[in-house]
Structure formats: C-alpha cells, structure tokens
Structure 1
Amino acid sequence: MKKISLFLCLALISFSLLAQRKENKPGYDREKLSAAKIAFITQKLDITPDQAEQFWPLYNAFEDKRRNLLHQLRVISHLDQENLTEEKATQLIQNKIDLQQSLLDLEKSSLNKFTEVLRPKQVYLLQEADRDFVKHLYRVNRKRKTERPKR
C-alpha cells in the first residue's frame, strides 16, 4: 500500500511539474523535478530513511559535477566549425577525451561512495532507475501534449 501511494504521489508531482510553469518563465520547475526524481528513485531502489539521509547529499553533489562536465562537453561540440583549424581540432579532441575521462573518474568515485551508504544491488540499479525516471518524464510530457486541446 505504501508503494502504491508513493507511486501515485510521484505521478501527481510529475504531471504538475510538467504542466505548471512559473510566471513568465518558460521551462520547468527544478525544485519539483528534483522532488519527483527523489521520490521516484527512492521508491524504485527501496531506499530507507537512514540511507536517504546519507545518500541524497552524495548523489546531488555527483549530479552537479556530472551536469557541469556534460555542459562543458556540449560547449565543445557546438563550437564554430567554419573556422576550425587542424590544430584547434586536435586540441578539442584532447579536451573531449579529458572531459570524458573526468566523467568516468567521477562515476567510479561516486559509485564507491554510494556503496558505503546503499547496498550493492541498489547502487547497481541506480543508473537504470535514473533512466527510467527520464523515460517517465517523456511519457508524461507526451501524454500531456496529446491531451491538450488543439486551438
């Protein structure tokens, strides 16, 4: 019963965070998205309150660093290709490799930290739960768009 009520709560949060937008601000509410993600992953991995208290600060720090590295990779990928020299291309390739290595190192160290707090099975299922959350948001968004009355 607890899992059903948590799932229903998560569904309502997901619908509301995609449907509601802050005044004059396009996009989504990061706080609601974060709360929905926490609820989704907590339920999916069956994280206890004691585990959650230690895990979520670690996970949030990991996500912030990961988001920063991915942003840097996107910046490199969207540079002006018209004026790209061979030397600059070589430098950008090395920068991409370095950033990808940093991502891998971050994931390795974070998984080790997560294993100190969560059971190994929970850590193993974490990436799948993260992907499932993104899929869930896409489904909710797609459903919301198809249900919207056409003008």
Structure 2
Amino acid sequence: MLVPTLNAQNHRNDRHRERRAPDSVCQFHGARNLHNKLKPKKVGYITQELQLTEQEAKDFWPIYDKYEQELMAVRDKHRPKDTTQDGFPQRPDFLNMSNSKAEEMFTNHFKVQKEVLALEEKYFNEMKKAIPVQKVNMLFHVEKRFLTEVIGKNFRDKDKRERRR
C-alpha cells in the first residue's frame, strides 16, 4: 500500500517542477503568486476597514494599484538573488557572514527604506485627492493589520494542514 502513495507523491512533485518557471525567467514566482492570490482579499479588507464609498473606491484603487506596482518594483530591485525552491528570498546566514557583507546588507536595507518612504510620501499626496486624508492615514495601519491577520492566518492554516499529513 505504501508504494502507490510514494509514487503519487513523486508524480505530484514532478508536475510541480514542470510548472515552475526556470529561476532565470521568473525568479520571484512564489512571491508573485502569493501576492496575486491574496490581492482580492486585500482589496476587500482595505475597502471594508476604510469604509470606502463606491465613489471613493473608484477613485482610490487605480492610485493604490500604481503605488503597489512601484513599491513591488523597488523591493524586487533590491531583493536578494538567492531564492528558495518556491521562489522566495533565501534567508541569509547572519552569524557566519563577513562584516563587509553585513554592512552591505544594512546599506541596502536603508536604501530600500528611503525609496519606500519617498513612494509613500508621493502617493500619500495622490491618495488624499481621492479619499479623505483621515482614511489615507488609516491605510498604512490597515495594511499592517492585513499582513498580520490575513497573511499570518494563511501561514498558520498551511502549517496546520502540513502537520495533518
């Protein structure tokens, strides 16, 4: 009975490898896929939490989508080139890296943070043309809550499913 199960698992893994794009073509496939999967949940969550009217949503979402695209471009540009099998960035070995590598990572981190801050300022001014400034102010807090509540829940649920196997 165990042999067919192992063969089925191997077959499923082979199909998974075939579907995956080569790293050179789609280095961030896993991260992009997760983003696309969660996008509808994020839109619903933000719309509900900010209590956007139909007109506000119509004016706000095109601006937010541009903001998110630019934000992802900044992060992709600075994302480590080493990725896991699923396309997520490889976790660095902090304790064993050289001082120069650690300095380089911090310099890169600060550079990214400055670019993100500049984007937030730019789009803050754009968004407040579409929705009240109070809702724009709330947006950044709502995004963080979405990350902890919804994405955290997805990973906890995935972890539970994997433990059941």
1:105 is aligned to 2:118: yes
**TM-score scaled by structure 2?**
0.59
Cα distance in 1, alignment partners of residues 138 and 106 from structure 2: 32
What is aligned with 1:58? 63
**TM-score scaled by structure 1?**
0.64
Which letter does structure 2 place at the counterpart of 1:137? I
CA RMSD of aligned residues (A): 3.6
Segments of structure 2 that go 5 or more residues without pairing to the other structure are 1-14, 21-29, 82-88, 93-97
Q: Tell me how far 1:128 sits from its aligned partner.
A: 1.2
What is aligned with 1:132? 145
Cα distance in 2, alignment partners of residues 149 and 99 from structure 1: 36
Identity percentage of aligned residues: 24
Alignment coverage as a number of residue pairs: 127
Q: Tell me how far 1:72 sits from its aligned partner.
A: 2.2
Cα distance in 2, alignment partners of residues 58 and 140 from structure 1: 27
Give CA deviations for 1:79-126 in whole Å, capped at 9, x if unaligned: 9xxxx9x7x998887665544332221110101111111111111110
Check 1:138–1:116 CA distance in 2 against 1; reply closer, same or farther (3 A cut).
same
**Larger of the two Rg values belongs to structure:** 2
Aligned to 1:33, which of 34, 38, 60? 38
Cα distance in 2, alignment partners of residues 121 and 95 from structure 1: 32
